[in-house]
Structure 1
């Protein structure tokens, strides 16, 4: 029985208002617009100057490492990144919605018989250490993000020096399959393990993907294709962002969208809770039908001559 309902969240502009690196720029006095403009220019520059292609989603990590070694972020390490997690500007209702959605099902008597659970995952192209240091981490069941390796500088201090692991907007889909198969939850299972659908830990039909825009279309597509649910967020008062997610809904990329506010009574809160309960009802009904089917077959009895 697959009794797990998974809500998979993007991070930047989905759970927080802005980018997770904003507190870093503020602390070190770096102009964020200038930083991102430089980062955005790198793919074309490297291709023209060196004939080298780079991943536009994750090339920013190299810039952070460069700045940490000999630049405005000098001395930046993973411990500091975790500390910056505490300075994240979360949207209203976060992290409360993480706990409330779990309790919605797990404290309801009609679902206890089937031990139906709600789990939360974060899949981000940002830095996983920042997410792990934030207040949502204690409510999550798994975090996928970019990992940075440290080394010692000339003074013996730890500093980020290499890219260890990356998640880009396309490889987010790999993370979804890892959640689907139960990577990290089941021993001996990896993303390439051939595993029949019925034995996968989280069925896509019980998965909700929440994100903010077109960069998440590959992940939205995987969840939609497999009959899960998709939901987009836009910042309050941002007409351009609202039109963007409205177009995505018109194009069939997402099921629904709402303003980025997860407090009780808002559209985002109610839609997500309603979808979770709908999934739980489907799991319960499916299991009840199985039991009734076996019960209808009856119990073998002695034959009477």
Structure 2
């Protein structure tokens, strides 16, 4: 743990100023843009995956139900992911032609999903006291930790509240939040934590190496670095493919978050939930909502990765112009 934080401090030192700020702000802006623009598709997907069925879950009515919860969780989660993603890529210096490049992108993407869930700030205070982290490095790491902790605290609860609001369009977001606290306590807000992580890791292992590889191939074919719109096209393709192959894990996450308190599904056992869907609905149940999920994430990949690179490039350019 000390080695990882020490390395992170070194990366922060290298990315002081525009580099750190660019990754943080660009990731957050891109995440909010995607979640708000494509929220209706996410609602349709959730209702298709819900155990009561599409029509009973609300059909096409109230497709913006739960959007406040999504908006609250978007910025810190996306910002924390991309800070980690860029740092881990920086840590592992690999020549762009190396066969290890896809492995680097897989590790970076996985770290971006997992690190916000286990990293702790007490270790940073210890390192500061021992003098390992000083000045701008310490400030940079502390800001990163704040976003990691915020993402960890907000991501799963916002998803739980959002999905329950999507299948209960007549109930307000705050009412659903209060009801979860009253009936299940704090642990109710973190139901589906394991299934969320287990969905995101395979998704990122597919999406980000594919995105980086497509960008590299396109750059090689045209003999110059891809433009932002070209990066966004690569992101759309990579996101849609990753969405399709990880849909069963997304279905299970939805079922666990929507399950009635005290039921076997609500316990959060991913394998048991997968078996339950397979037994009752077969392959069609495991891939429920695959088309709106692919559409949302393909469009989301175009907007998210394109907006990220555009915002980051702009911020880096502004940083270079500053005296």
Same fold (TM over 0.5): no
Which is bigger in relative contact order (C-alpha 8 A, separation at least 6)? 2
Q: Which of the pair has more CA radius of gyration?
A: 1
More helix by share: 2
